[in-house]
Structure 1
Amino acid sequence: MTTLTVDELRAAIERELPGVRADLEALVRIPGIAFDGFDFAPLERSAQAVAELMRGVGLDVQVSRIGDGHPAVIGRRPAPAGAPTVMLYAHHDVQPVGDLSQWESEPFEPTERDGRLYGRGAADDKAGVMAHIAALRAFGCGTDDDRLPLGVVVFVEGEEEFGSDSLPGLLAKHKEELAADVIVIADSGNWDIGVPALTTSLRGIVNSFVDVRVLQSAVHSGMFGGVVPDALTVLCRLLATLHDENGDVAVPGLVSGEAAPLDYPVDRYRAEAGILDGVELIGTGRIVDRMWTKPALAVLAIDSPRTAEAPNALVPAARAKLSMRLAPGDDPKSAYQALIAHLEKHVPWGAEISFELEHDGNPCAIDATGKYFDAARSAFATAWDGTEPVEIGIGGSIPFIATFQELFPAASILVTGVEDPHAKAHGPNESLHLGEFARVCLAEALLLHNVAEAAKSA
């Protein structure tokens, strides 16, 4: 088998991009949401559409699920003798659309504006699915001119946005089929438009609830106010202890670290985050440290009477949902206990307090050294016309990466992605930069080429 050259792969990606885009748009039109309360039939259609795409590039395909979980799709092709195997991961489920009035076009009707393709899942992560398909099509997979030089297994999950509850079971069930020398997880992003990146650290997560109670039931705010504390005031005072005067997390015992030596200009950060004029940033240290390697704590919601319905009565109980992000090196179980200890110490006026863990996930750090990481850097630099990739962290959490590290300790794990700082994943008007998507597709094809070549030199 004759190996394709870099120029041939570049030409092949250009040839395949129109069809890849058409298939991406077809996927975006399927509203596959794994959250409770939604119609799950579109997830089944989405899985079948992904399965057909995999069959089109000559893979042996199975749709798999654990119990009542949502469908994952696995496509596999064994490696030639002596060649490595690469696992290509993505997910086909998407976030709910939220407030439809905030969308400038229909979320499940892909729409191009100013070089970007808008639609829910256009970036996160159906473009990741199609980047994998594009790379395989570039090698002629599924045709008579098939020149893929290594083995591949494509693993497309169906409930990542809802917490990946089935993933441990899927990995255990298919461990032998999924085993690979290199794992490419296409669920992150790049540093900027025109600047590729490898993600080498991700924060962990602890989502939990705190409840406070002061009364058996509501009582008249005039007759008892001024003596009996109301639960909302108790909760507000308690939540205010979670940060110090600078906005740093004030819970003792959490891990902090230092991020990669990247400069994130304040003006760029404010613009990308959409911070209102006059609103100050919180925390101390470099922005990249605050985002990637220091803990963060946010109050996501408070259960309390609605203002339009609230009587003149002291609120007997209140609940808040907290989201704590953990630096690489921290442990979710010990971090949760540290949070409980802090809240128990600071609850005011002897109010009853209780806790409930919703879910947690491990942070991770990736040692991005070795021949396969070098192969990736070379592929990225070529696809971005000489711009070397930078190493970045992610403030968000993808806990299953730690699971991959545990199950496949010998594999090189490359966390890549199609998003850029303007993609607005999870928000209204999510979009994909089409020029960057073309580079991502080329980079993945070159990565497969480079991994095969690197294995020969071992």
Structure 2
Amino acid sequence: MSTDASVRTFVAHEANEFVEDLKAWLSIPSISGDPNRTGDVRASAEWLAAALRRTGFPTVEVWETGDGAGLPAVFAEWPSDDPKAPTVAVYGHHDVQPVAPLELWHSGPFEPDERDGRLYARGAADDKGQVFFHLLGVRAHLAATGRTAPAVNLKLIVEGEEESGSPHFPALLREKADRLACDVVVVSDTDMWDRDTPSTCTAMRGMLAVQMDFRGPTGDIHSGAFGGAIPNPVTELVRVLGYLHDADRRITLPGFYDGIVELTDVERQLIAKLPFDEAAWLRTAKSTAAIGEAGYSTLERIWARPTAEINGIWGGHTSPGSKTIVPSEAHAKLSFRLVAGQEPTRVRDAFEAWLAQRVPAGIEYTTSYEGDGVRPCLTPLDHPALQSVTRALGRAFATEPGGEPREILYTRQGGSGPEADLQDILGAPVVFLGISLPEDGWHAPNEKVDLDLLLKGAEATAYLWEDLAGNN
């Protein structure tokens, strides 16, 4: 029996036990954003640690974060018996989102319900299911190859605060950098294009978030007596925000686009190959028109171009009825999504310089940022590790084991996460192996995962370790 056939047979044989074990983990309400669930997040970490030990990992540790003030991460390591083997670190998270509104769930969010080939529960797709298929995958890899240890030095780092913004994760990476040293990081916390179009992610945008506070008169004043003769904070804030984009919807901060990694012709062609239905996308976006930076498609705009969005604006009288005032304050929240080649701190400095030139006399202003921002990450299409992921997924999605591999397309993620920290602090490239679907309801009621795809994820990881070791 070929290796591919052996892997697929093993995964199929173990599927029922795998799903039942996953249900047990999903039953733990590890909501990191709820202070009342701290004990459950810890229980989730301990459950995963026990499962990793049962799988065969010789080193498994629960790591505290924030000097004990944070929520625990789980580390596991299984060295290869090949002294020349590369080292791979797998990243995921075991904490989950809150479940409100509870009345919209068709089954209990922590009472895993299997129906129609899908498993419904909070964390089924994001991210317990996608972490857990790695345990089945390494077992299938060993069974199919006859190895007693993986073809790579395999490490797992599974954090417990991702859904709360990973506040302690960068410090943990720095503290444990020697233990986590690796040649490549595999992230299983993303999705595919759709069930019929297997794909892998190649980039995630970074982010910088800021609040602007404008102040004029020391109190609200009569608009008839004073309006038109002194600066109005709301008017001036709106004027400044209106300067953020030019007529082509490009961001006007000097130097904002300097150094960004532009899409290549090949990348644009690959994005265009995706079966994108813009009308359906607009329905999901709750909009009737797609607009943005001139010269780019919708997918290019949300994946590969930087943005500046006004997330909220307030000030003055907003209650029912009229109140004719010049308000004393105005406020706005902005977020910049960043692409490869941009640094959050550099964008912050450019924004501050731009803002200082546009705020008129009579207005005092302050800005406050949500930390130092998140850096973007990008894996070039020709990177050997990405090609290994592509081949592994192609084999997993082949109609017959060992048959013609499926074509794997490439996507990007418009959002942001801790991937840049992994890339920067560990000094290793990041690749993505995720099998969830866009309709799986991440962060929403009735979150689910397709069980067939979950098993494909396990199969792909079984092939990936051989491929990364150069044994494909």
Give the TM-score category using the shorter length: 0.7 to 0.9
Deviates more, 1:102-111 or 1:357-366: 102-111
TM-score (norm 1): 0.86
Measure the CA separation in 2 of the matches of 1:76 and 1:58: 10
Measure the CA separation in 2 of the matches of 1:98 and 1:345: 44
Measure the CA separation in 2 of the matches of 1:121 and 1:382: 27
User: Corresponding residue for 2:291?
Assistant: 281
Supply the RMSD in Å over aligned alpha carbons: 3.1
* Deviation per residue, 1:286-332 (Å, 9 max, x gap): 22321122111222234557945898354322322211101211111
Aligned pair partner of 2:29 in 31, 55, 74: 31
User: Are positions 1:447 and 2:464 aligned together?
Assistant: yes
1:404 alignment partner AA: L
Measure the CA separation in 1 of the matches of 2:320 and 2:74: 47
Measure the CA separation in 1 of the matches of 2:311 and 2:150: 47
User: Corresponding residue for 1:436?
Assistant: 453
Measure the CA separation in 1 of the matches of 2:317 and 2:441: 30
User: Are positions 1:57 and 2:58 aligned together?
Assistant: no
Gaps of 5+ in 2: 399-404
Assess if the C-alpha contact under 8 Å between 1:380 and 1:389 holds in 2: yes
Measure the CA separation in 1 of the matches of 2:355 and 2:444: 31
Distance 1:239 1:70, change over 3 A: same
* Deviation per residue, 1:126-162 (Å, 9 max, x gap): 1221121121232468xx9956444321111111222
User: Corresponding residue for 1:196?
Assistant: 198
* Deviation per residue, 1:32-63 (Å, 9 max, x gap): 23337554222111111211111111222111
The Cα shift of 1:100 comes to 4.3
Q: Secondary structure at the match of 2:382?
A: coil
Distance 1:279 1:44, change over 3 A: same
2:389 alignment partner AA: A
Measure the CA separation in 2 of the matches of 1:278 and 1:87: 43
Correspondence 1:51-450 to 2 at 5 A:
51-59=49-57, 60-66=59-65, 67=67, 68-82=69-83, 83-97=85-99, 99-100=101-102, 103=105, 105-112=107-114, 114-139=116-141, 146=148, 148-220=150-222, 224-225=226-227, 227=229, 230-255=232-257, 257-258=262-263, 260-261=267-268, 262-263=271-272, 267-268=277-278, 270-271=280-281, 274-276=284-286, 278-284=288-294, 285-302=296-313, 304=315, 307-308=318-319, 312=323, 314-347=326-359, 350-359=362-371, 360-369=373-382, 371-385=384-398, 386-398=405-417, 400-409=418-427, 411=428, 413-450=430-467
Q: Secondary structure at the match of 2:172?
A: helix
Measure the CA separation in 2 of the matches of 1:221 and 1:101: 47
Deviates more, 1:98-107 or 1:125-134: 98-107
1:76 alignment partner AA: E
Measure the CA separation in 1 of the matches of 2:162 and 2:191: 16
Count of residue pairs brought into register by the alignment: 449
Assess if the C-alpha contact under 8 Å between 2:234 and 2:316 holds in 1: no
* Deviation per residue, 1:213-265 (Å, 9 max, x gap): 11212335565555555433433333333233454433332225226221256
Measure the CA separation in 2 of the matches of 1:298 and 1:104: 35
Assess if the C-alpha contact under 8 Å between 1:194 and 1:436 holds in 2: no
Distance 1:431 1:301, change over 3 A: farther
2:292 alignment partner AA: I
Measure the CA separation in 2 of the matches of 1:188 and 1:270: 21
Measure the CA separation in 1 of the matches of 2:345 and 2:425: 20
Measure the CA separation in 1 of the matches of 2:107 and 2:454: 21
The Cα shift of 1:210 comes to 0.9
Measure the CA separation in 2 of the matches of 1:258 and 1:272: 24
Assess if the C-alpha contact under 8 Å between 1:373 and 1:412 holds in 2: no
The Cα shift of 1:194 comes to 2.7
Assess if the C-alpha contact under 8 Å between 2:80 and 2:149 holds in 1: no
Q: Secondary structure at the match of 2:277?
A: helix
Gaps of 5+ in 1: none
Measure the CA separation in 2 of the matches of 1:99 and 1:282: 33
Q: Secondary structure at the match of 1:187?
A: coil
Assess if the C-alpha contact under 8 Å between 1:87 and 1:182 holds in 2: yes
* Deviation per residue, 1:171-222 (Å, 9 max, x gap): 2333333223332111222232232333222211101111111121233556
* Deviation per residue, 1:74-105 (Å, 9 max, x gap): 01122203233322211112233454455555
Measure the CA separation in 1 of the matches of 2:91 and 2:464: 14
Q: Secondary structure at the match of 1:417?
A: coil
Assess if the C-alpha contact under 8 Å between 2:193 and 2:199 holds in 1: yes
TM-score (norm 2): 0.84
Q: Secondary structure at the match of 1:299?
A: strand
Q: Secondary structure at the match of 1:211?
A: strand
Measure the CA separation in 2 of the matches of 1:346 and 1:270: 40
Assess if the C-alpha contact under 8 Å between 1:24 and 1:127 holds in 2: yes
Measure the CA separation in 2 of the matches of 1:381 and 1:16: 22
Distance 1:25 1:247, change over 3 A: farther
Measure the CA separation in 2 of the matches of 1:389 and 1:183: 20
Q: Secondary structure at the match of 2:439?
A: coil
Measure the CA separation in 2 of the matches of 1:28 and 1:222: 62
Distance 1:266 1:185, change over 3 A: closer
Q: Secondary structure at the match of 1:422?
A: helix
Distance 1:96 1:336, change over 3 A: farther
